[in-house]
Amino acid sequence: MSRIALIPGEGIGPEITAEVVKVLGAVQSRSGLDLHLATLDHRTGAGKPAGQASLEKLIEELPNNFDAIFIGSLGEANGAETAWGAELRRVIIAKMDLFAHFRPVKFLDERRCPLKNKRAEEIQFAVISDNGAGILPEFGGSYRKGTPQEIFLRQMISTWQGADRIVRYAFDYVRLQGLKRLALSCHYSAPAGEDDLLKRVFDERRAEHPGVETSEMPIPTLMAQLLRTPEQFEVILTNGLYSDAIGNLGAELQGGINLGASADLHPGRASLFMAADGGRHNARQDHANPLGAMLAMALMLEHLGLDQEAQWVEGAVKNALGTDNTTYDLGGRLNTHQVGDFLAQQIKRAAC
């Protein structure tokens, strides 16, 4: 039995999560899987975020009681991230040591790619970064706020142990997936600070993997190359400051920002999955796009070792895109729950 914690989140999160539950039900019906789904209530009856004590208790229960965590949405329908939402994800990552941020990019429908004459097999790559490095929100802030002397400071952290762990993870991912190419992308050709540390560790470890073709390029060059020849990339390792920008560009290559999925991982442990942007862009009640959440759910099933079931979900999403059974932001005429109905029916009918 696989145990899945569902945290509906904020904004359009509850309606997105409802459709994920619907499609997981179709997967169970077709496969006979024993999936235990538990919706965790993180809000008070008044609809406000629970207090810090409740949040910590919720997170303490996750590793021991569940094999995966799915979050519906963290933020408002207009795409704005709330302080509570940012804190929830940050605390879960820290408490559960989910060190690897993972953004897969898979070309799903050739009609929707903004690049000309690209085939599905030419846009298939993953973006990996270290969740333990980057800006620390608890240190720094505004000083003399509202005055001409206002100063804003942010502290960043990067450790050798963290850089070594994410570099090893990236090389292992290439090997385990039967891939060949790993690209390191930092800010400039001569990186400083955390990028310099990541580059030095990368240089040390690449000698241990002679079968992997490695390359390095600055972020501006990488972004340009993704718009010209994305087929050259299989796995991209980068700093956490840039991973979302690269992943969001990849989602646009898939067909739209709302198709992005993300995971925060620790191999062999319960990990966290959600749509990369929560499906919030241009969203309003019952018009939020659930496809990014569905692809995140497929990623979760893969993490649980349910590869066939993950392929069913991904196939249903491909069918929805190919037949325009989508929400308005992708040119379709369906609302959120109708898209969920279509996906569930595709899976139950074994049409994918």
Q: Give this prediction's pTM.
A: 0.90
Q: What pLDDT, on the 0 to 100 scale, is given for residue 286?
A: 72
Domain ranges for the chain: 1-99+261-352, 114-254
Of 33-37, 59-63, 175-179, minimum mean pLDDT range: 59-63
Of 159-168, 193-202, 205-214, minimum mean pLDDT range: 193-202
Of 89-103, 186-200, 247-261, 325-339, minimum mean pLDDT range: 186-200
Pick the more confident residue, 56 or 338. 338
Q: What pLDDT, on the 0 to 100 scale, is given for residue 44?
A: 39
Region 265-276 average pLDDT: 94
Task: Report the mean per-residue pLDDT for the chain.
Answer: 87
- What does the pLDDT look like over 69-87, one tens digit per residue? 999 887 665 555 565 666 7
Q: Are 245 and 137 in contact (CB under 8 A)?
A: no
Q: Is the dihedral of CA 222, 227, 233, 236 positive or negative?
A: positive
Q: Is the dihedral of CA 201, 207, 212, 216 positive or negative?
A: positive
Q: What pLDDT, on the 0 to 100 scale, is given for residue 196?
A: 87
What CATH code would you report for 114-254? 3.40.718.10
Closest CA to 162 of 136, 140, 181, 141: 136
Region 20-37 average pLDDT: 95
Q: Are 15 and 30 in contact (CB under 8 A)?
A: no
Q: In this model, does residue 185 exceed pLDDT 90?
A: yes
Pick the more confident residue, 53 or 348. 348
72 vs 60: CA distance, rounded Å: 20
Residue matched to tokens 């749509």: 275
Q: Are 335 and 327 in contact (CB under 8 A)?
A: yes
Give the list of residues 6+ apart from residue 148 with CB closer than 8 angstroms, or none. none
Pick the more confident residue, 314 or 65. 314
| CA-CA-CA-CA dihedral for 207, 208, 211, 217, to nearest 10 | -50
- What does the pLDDT look like over 129-147, one tens digit per residue? 999 887 766 677 888 888 9
Answer whether 1-99+261-352 and 114-254 agree in fold: yes
Q: What pLDDT, on the 0 to 100 scale, is given for residue 76?
A: 62
What CATH code would you report for 1-99+261-352? 3.40.718.10
Q: What pLDDT, on the 0 to 100 scale, is given for residue 285?
A: 65
Region 296-322 average pLDDT: 96
Pairing state between β 235-238 and 181-186: parallel
Region 256-278 average pLDDT: 91
